[in-house]
Amino acid sequence: MHFANSQTGSYMLGAQVIAMSDAANKDAIEITNLLPGIQQLGQTRVKTKISLTDAVKNLETNNEIIVRRELGSRIISGNTNYNFTQQYSTSKFKNARITTSRIGTIRTISSRQKNLTAIWNQNLKITENLQ
C-alpha cells in the first residue's frame, strides 16, 4: 500500500499539519514539537522573504536519539509558500521535508520505523503501517 497520496491532518500552532509517508524514507523518522518558535503560523502574513532557521532550531525527533541537523527555510510572499528541509547526520535517519503551498498549511513527513503516525484532533493518535 502506498501512502504518497494519503494524508491526515490536525491543527498545531494555528496551522494545519498533514503527515505523509515518503516512499524513499525507509528508515522512518518522527517529528514532534514542530516549529516551536512560530506563534500562530496560520495567521502569519508576510510581504518579503523571511528566514525561519532560528524558529526551527529546536525541532525535535524522539527522545532516544539526538542528531545534528542542517536547516533551510524560506517564506515567499503572495500565497505564502513555506519550505523547510531537515537533514539528519546519522545513518539511522534520512531526510524529512516540510512543505506547503497555502497560507497556514504545512505538509510534513512524520513517521518512525515502519509506522506513519500523526496527531489527529489533538489527542487521537493515528498509526498506519508502511508496507
pLDDT, position 4: 39
Nearest-angstrom CA–CA distance, 79 and 66: 35
pLDDT, position 48: 26
Mean pLDDT value of segment 36-56? 33
Q: What is the pLDDT of residues 65-119, one digit of tens each?
A: 222 233 333 333 333 333 333 333 332 333 333 333 333 333 333 333 222 222 2
Q: What is the pLDDT of residues 22-33, one digit of tens each?
A: 333 333 333 333
The answer for 55, left when phi > 0, alpha when psi is -120 to 50, beta otherwise, is: alpha
pLDDT, position 106: 37
